[in-house]
Amino acid sequence: MAIRKILLLYILFSSNLVLCQTLENYDLWLGYSKTENPELSREYQELFQFIYIENGNEILATAQKELIAGLEKILGDKPEFTTVQNSKNTVIIAKRENLDRSLAEKLGTDFNALGKDGFILKRTLWDGKQLTILTANEDLGILYGVFRMLHLLQTEQSLSEIHLVDAPKIDLRMLNHWDNLDRTVERGYAGFSLWNWQKLPEYIDPRYIDYARANASIGINAVSLTNVNANALILTPMYLEKVEALANVFRPYGIKVFLTARFSAPMEIGGLETADPLNQEVQNWWNSKAGEIYDRIPDFGGFLVKANSEGQPGPQNYDRTHVDGANMLAKALKPHNGNVIWRAFVYSEHDADDRAKQAYSEFVPYDGTFMENVLVQVKNGPIDFQPREPFHPMFGAMPKTPLMMEFQITQEYLGFSTHLVYLPKLFEEVLDSDTYREGKGSTVAKVIDGSLHQKKLTGMAGVANIGNDLNWTGHPFAQANWYGFGRLAWDPYLSSEDIADEWLRATYSNDPKFVEPVRAMLLMSREAVVNYMNPLGLHHIFDTGHHYGPGPWVSELSRPEWNPTYYHRANDKGIGFDRTPSGSNATAQYAPEVAKIFNNPKAIPEEYLLWFHHLPWDYKLKNGQTLWNGIAVKYQEGVDQVEGMIATWESVKPYISEEQFREVRMLLDIQLKEAKWWRDACLLYFQTFSKKELPDGVEKPTKTLEYFKSLKFPFAPGIRPRWD
């Protein structure tokens, strides 16, 4: 691609860039290369002597283009194509309707179970010939199957006895970009927005195509282009023309475009005096706007809406409900088969109760009243993308309403893109959590995939970590979070360990001497961050605004729930937020079986202890340590774990390029420095209440609490723009 030539020139003329970001990083997990295993190389050469692939629309053309590019690199030679399906040693790629009937029957698979996105990849004997068959019901299934087949080859898997039947368990697999029209990215730590609105629609950056390739390769089929803190201008003709251009780029990869809708748009760009969802003129305006968008983009996905949260306008401005607002937009989109995704992330200064309870209180009473084309999008936990949270109590509590998971892929509360944090481990923890809403085994995954309450409409969203940095995500290992999100959105029952293995082999090396230690490092990395930031259920003790670094002392902001002191409640008697019946009673929002565990400090998993309990400093943990010593030891353990990550990375240096090694090594140095910052600042602050010495084995701070309090970061990346 032309973009690779441009990037290569960029690297050659920038010595700093050679050390920091490599061309391999740009390729993501799609850096196809010649198979090094001689036995597999012979197998692949034999299997791919001839290829039959059906011709068709732009999606099939995309599949063929990707197949040719990938096989040429993996095989080391350009593949040959045939026009017949029954040649010896042929790979046949065709939809079921275009397969020979007897061959389709021989596959012995229920094609109905594949849906529109699933595929079959099978090696079979037919008419005396060994054939490799890739088939599906629809074109998009063929595209996904081609990407999966190339991934198997890239990661040196044998296809000699392959029998893979795979289909996504979730319908809408979506990235939420928090990109602003000025190209800043809220909570973005990988440069500016990919979308160059100034040059669109005429100029199509080749990166848009590679972005679409990457998403399609892991099954992502939808993207919301703009920030949930929305700008109404995106709905004006000038910008819709630009959105149309992006939709045209993404369509051959099976990706639908969504836009964030600012609720006050009828006033801001429509000239109306109100945005009341029950006002007929407002309804007419949205109906007209939907028609205008679909005239340009026939497969437009719909609207993503943040309303009545953090100052955003919404139906409550007019004494209406979330249902009133969501259903108004749903009616406008329904004739076009569009969907409304209404975010449940709400909290208000007018609600003096526990912030963790507000979303449940505002939405659960309205279960069953949203229109059928509305999904309610719920963050994985009840606060805000913390390093660890219990699962959100809304999951399973709205059996009549489709709930869509919202995960964070970008690392707002996880050290930004300078910390190595493998988030599929977090995603897996949440998805495996048991809500008990329909008895034991009622996991969050079953809520999301619709199987718990037989939902027809399902979805999972990830807040994107993608920017215009050469390596896309700022930290090369942050690519694993994008990849892992896509894989879990396809199948929420995959293990984070298997996903780590897939990503490492596709991105770096198939050598087990590299894969095994680095996979172990990935699986441990998220726990390390929890330990040096928010151990034992502590949460939201970040410095405010930018959320960069610790700020447990912050207490003077105008709204109580903006202050970290609101969440840890440290005093001379102890620490933690009492959410049991003796406190805010947030545990009552969970099923009784879960609430019983959370209410009991001796029964609750200790990783959630201080989330639900305020306990004395000398409270005895399960290991016999006092709470104070346990907190301090956890902070030290997090630092030690980062030092272990550095040792692991040093040990695998022989298996990667010098540039790849050096980039991650420098970032790990930053992570270690900031882990020590977190440890020292938090322990010094909490020590002012505990009045206890640090236990043996915990390093003593070299700076004072006053020093840590004095640190300011006015230009930390990813800060939310002001809307006043």
Catalytic residues: 310, 384, 412
Rounded Cα distance, 484 and 522, in Å: 12
The Cα 112–Cα 136 span in angstroms is: 10
Q: What share of the chain is helix, strand, coil (3-state, %, to 5)?
A: 45, 10, 45
Please check whether residue 408 is in contact with residue 175, taking contact to mean a CB–CB distance below 8 angstroms: no
Q: Which of 504, 473, 664, 716 lies closest to 20 in space, CA to CA?
A: 664
**CA distances in angstroms from 243 to 286, 294, 300, 430, 526, listed in the order given:** 18, 12, 10, 34, 36
d(C-alpha 141, C-alpha 149), whole Å: 12
How many Cβ atoms sit within 10 Å of the Cβ of residue 69? 15
- Residue 175 and residue 222 in contact, taking contact as beta carbons nearer than 8 Å: yes
179 and 195 Cβ atoms separated by less than 8 Å: yes
Selection from 347, 675, 699 nearest residue 527 by Cα: 675
> CB–CB of 326/366 below 8 Å?
no
Angle at 90 between CA 84 and CA 94, to 5 degrees: 60
Distance CA 507, CA 638 (A): 27
**Residues in a beta bridge with 92:** 52, 133
Q: Which residues contact 108 (CB under 8 A, 6 or more apart)?
A: none
Non-local CB neighbours of 154 within 8 Å, separated by 6+ positions: 32, 33, 70, 74, 505, 506
Return the SS3 of 342.
strand
